[in-house]
Every structure is written in C-alpha cells, then in structure tokens.
Structure 1
Amino acid sequence: MHVADLKGLKVHYTDEGDPNGAPIVFVNSLGTDLRLWDKVVPLLPAGLRIIRYDKRGHGLSGVTPGPYKMGTLVGDLERLLDHLGVRDCLLVGLSIGGMIAQGLAVKRMDMVRAVVLSNTGAKIGTADMWADRIAAVKTGGIEALADAIMERWFSASFRETEEFHAWRNMLVRQPPEGYAGCSAAIAGTDFYTPTSGLRLPALGIAGSEDGSTPPDLVRETVDLIPGSKFALIRGAGHLPCVEKPGEYARILNGFIAETGHA
C-alpha cells in the first residue's frame, strides 16, 4: 500500500505500470474507492503509468471534518500529483471525479494535457437536493440512501447480479463524514464558466441508464470545450466502467491513441 502525507491528509494511492510511461490518472465517484477502475486497468495499453487514489473521506484515505469545498478536493489531487512528480497526464474523472478533473485542468495546465469527463457535469443537482441527502446521511447513515443510489448507479439488469451486492457494500462502508463532506463540495460547485475556458483534448462518456448524470448533462458539459468528443455507452448506468468495462476501455483506448498519449 502507498500512502502520501499531504499537509496532514494521508492519501491512499496506487502507482502501477511503467514508472517512465505517460501518466494516466483516475479519479473516483462519490461513494466509491479506487477499486472503481479495477476492470478497466488491465485493458489499458502497455507502457502507461497508471495512478489511482482514494479521495478525501473515502476508501483508505484520511477523513477530515466536513463540509468540504471543491477547491480542497482539487488541491488534494494537485498535491498528490506534485508529490509523485506527475506532469502532462491524461486525467479521467467520473462524477465528482469529473468535477475534480475540471478544476485541476483549469488550475494546472502543466499537469493535465487531456481530460476524460465521465458521467459528470459542470454542475450536478441543486443545493437543496444535496442538503437533503446530507441531512439523510447524518440522520440514518449512507444505508438510508443506498437503495435509491443503486438505482441511479446501475441498470436494472446489473442489479440482478451477484456482483451488484459488493458495490452496494462498498457504498455503505464509506465514512459518512466523507460522503457528506464531498456531497457539500458538489452542492457548491458550478464550473460552467471555468470549464468553457479549457483548450485541451477532451472526451465525455455517458451511460444511457444513468440516473445521476444523464447523457444530456454530460454532453452539455463536454461541449463547453471546443473540439471535444462524446461517447454514449448503452445499457449502463452511472458507473459504466463497472457494467461495461470492455466498451469503456475501447472508448478510452481510442482517445489515448488519438491524443498520442502513449
């Protein structure tokens, strides 16, 4: 296990593949840890340096008192990549991870050369909606929201599989303080203006059955970046890298090839 001490926050991460290869960095969704990408990583081209991490309040990383700001979460990733000496990475972010990716791409042009915005938006939901979820978590824990979240995360067919139960367990075992803290960060974020100023290769990926960030939201967000591309994965919900890893990897690998990131 690798743990970086970043100004008092201990961040769990993995650093795999070729240490001298072109870096690709993955940022997880709300309520998941770095295992979110387990099915995709083995399908990536050889020669890449592959970095994953557990964001603040998730997985094996440290939990700090909430609420969190999006700038704090962006800063966590910035410090981790500085710690690892990463520049010119391909940054892949899903859901809140896609928001963190937008924020870092705006802040550190030297650090991000291309971005994949997966199942995300420049703005997700409303402040009132997130306030209700935060209150529910504080009252009844993540379990109180779990069934509704699972319906947004996964297609009906996937919810009938045995694997589904493992993902539900991953969700409810996240620290409630971290889940609520990151929910507050999403509630306070509107990246429409800063994201519209980005000028770099960008790809949006959406799932046709996504109940959290529908395809139109993903397309609207990535369309803010001139020259961007968009891909829809049919039959998948909010986590297409879990439900359709082969198709997800095919789309991602095509973008890697197109951008010369190898």
Structure 2
Amino acid sequence: MRIARLTNADIHWREDGDPNGAPVVFANSLGTDLRLWDKVIDRLPEAGYRYIRFDKRGHGLSSCPSDAYSMTDLVIDLEELLDHIGVSQFSLVGLSIGGMIGQLLAHRQPDRMTRLILACTAAKMGTADMWQARITAVRKGGVESIADAVLDRWFSGPFRHSGECIAWRSMLSRTPAEGYIGCSEALAVTDLTATTSELTLPVLGLAGSEDLASPPAQVKATTDLIRGSRFVELAGAGHLPCVEQADVFTAHLQNFLKESAHVRQV
C-alpha cells in the first residue's frame, strides 16, 4: 500500500499496468474507494498505459481531515498526488464527484490533462437542499442510515438483488461520516457550468440509462458544454456502470483512449 503525505491530507493510491506507459488517472464517486475500478483495470491492457487510482480524502485508506472540504481542496489533493508520483500529463476518468474533480482540474491545468472521460457526473449535481438533508441524516445516524436509499440510486433493480450488491453496501456504510459529509458539502455549493464550457480537450461522456443520481440527460447536458465532445448512454446500467456493465464501459473507454490519442481541440 502506498500513502502520499500531501499538504492537507494523506492520500492512499496504487498503480497498475505499465509503469512507463501513458498515465490514466481514475477518480471515484462519493462513498466508494479505489476498488470501484477493479473490473475496469482487469479488462484493460497491461501494456502501454499506467493506471493510477486513489482514495480521495475522507474515503478508503486516505486520511479524513475534519475541516470543511471544497471542490478545490479535492482537486489540489489530486494535483499534489500527481506531482508526488511524477505525472506531468495524463488522461482522467472521473465518475460522479470524481468527474467534477476532473472538470475543475482540466480547467485549472489545461496543458496537463490530455483527455477526460466524464462518467455519470455533471457540472452541478443535485441541489443545496438535497445535500443538506443528506448531511443532516449522516450526522444523525451515520452513513449506514442512508445506505439503502443511496443503493436505490446507484444500481439497477436486478443488480440490487445480487450478492455483489451486499459488498457495495458495506463499502458505502464504512465510509467515515466526516469524509462523506465533507464531500457532500463540497458538492452542495459547486457549479462548474462556466468553467466546464471553456474546456477544449477531447471528452467522452458516459451515462447509465438507469442512473437516478445523475440521469442521462444531465450527463449529456454537461458533456454538450464542451465542443467536440461525445456522449454514450449505457443501457441497463445505473450510477456505477463500471461495476454493472464493466465490459461495455471498458470497451468505450479503451476505444476513446485509442481514437483520441493525438487529438486536441483548438
């Protein structure tokens, strides 16, 4: 296990694939850790790419600062992590809040990010009132108290009745309340519409047809902010298509990485 001791957080990270390959960074969703991408990594080629995953602050094995989080704080953590491990340019795959981290990082460092895959995310996710209600519930009863409601938004009906769903419920429930609340507070006040509309890099948007957290129309509206972007809806998948539809998700990701390798919008 690897821990990067950064300015304001200790971040757990790992890498797979070719250590000399083109870096691809994966940023996961609220309430999950870097294991979110296990199925995708298993399906990607080992040669040619360096796959980098991390637990954002307050999740997994990373530290859980007690101060309020902002989206900029989460982005700075990732910027410092990439500096720490010597990554200068990279592609980023971001799901949900991970996609928001990716959008803001692409705007802050446009010459550093080469390609962006936005999965089940948006420039603005939810409303301040919605996030505040969730924060209040977690403060009162912990993440366990909202787990079933979150799973209903994460997964399609058939998957919710599978044995695998039990493991995802455990991962969610074991997220530290302070980390979940901190990231929820960041989500409640973040609207990236203006900055995302200024992005010029190749972008692929991926949405799950059964996603109740980031419905396909919301993902497409965000993807459409970026000139030259592409959008794909994945049938039968919920908010975590890299889990439910790993073969299809990975195929779209791999094709995009190949096709956009030498493309840059101007």
Question: Is the structural similarity TM-score above 0.5?
Answer: yes
What amino acid is the match of 1:42? D
- The equivalent residue for 2:37 is 37
Structure 2: distance between partners of 1:56 and 1:111: 22
Structure 2: distance between partners of 1:67 and 1:171: 20
- The equivalent residue for 2:212 is 211
What amino acid is the match of 2:240? L
Shift of 1:66: 3.8
Shift of 1:18: 1.2
Shift of 1:17: 1.5
What amino acid is the match of 2:31? G
Where do 5+ consecutive residues of structure 2 fail to align? none
Could you tell me whether the CA contact under 8 Å between 1:66 and 1:180 is conserved in 2? no
Could you tell me whether the CA contact under 8 Å between 1:66 and 1:178 is conserved in 2? no
**TM value normalised by structure 2:** 0.96
User: How many residues end up aligned between the 2 structures?
Assistant: 261
Matched, 1:171 2:172: yes
- The equivalent residue for 1:118 is 119
- The equivalent residue for 1:83 is 84
Shift of 1:131: 0.6
Could you tell me whether the CA contact under 8 Å between 2:156 and 2:236 is conserved in 1? yes
Identity %: 56
- The equivalent residue for 1:26 is 26
Where do 5+ consecutive residues of structure 1 fail to align? none
Between 1:182-191 and 1:62-71, the stretch displaced more is: 62-71
Structure 2: distance between partners of 1:113 and 1:87: 10
Structure 2: distance between partners of 1:209 and 1:87: 36
Shift of 1:39: 0.2
Could you tell me whether the CA contact under 8 Å between 2:8 and 2:77 is conserved in 1? no
Shift of 1:8: 4.2
Between 1:16-25 and 1:56-65, the stretch displaced more is: 16-25
What amino acid is the match of 1:29? S
- The equivalent residue for 1:140 is 141
Shift of 1:88: 2.1
**TM value normalised by structure 1:** 0.98
Structure 1: distance between partners of 2:181 and 2:191: 18
Could you tell me whether the CA contact under 8 Å between 1:37 and 1:241 is conserved in 2? yes
Structure 1 residues 25-71: Cα deviation after superposition (integer angstroms, max 9, x where no partner): 00000000000000000211332100000001000000011421000
Structure 2: distance between partners of 1:121 and 1:49: 26
Shift of 1:110: 2.6
Structure 1: distance between partners of 2:111 and 2:238: 33
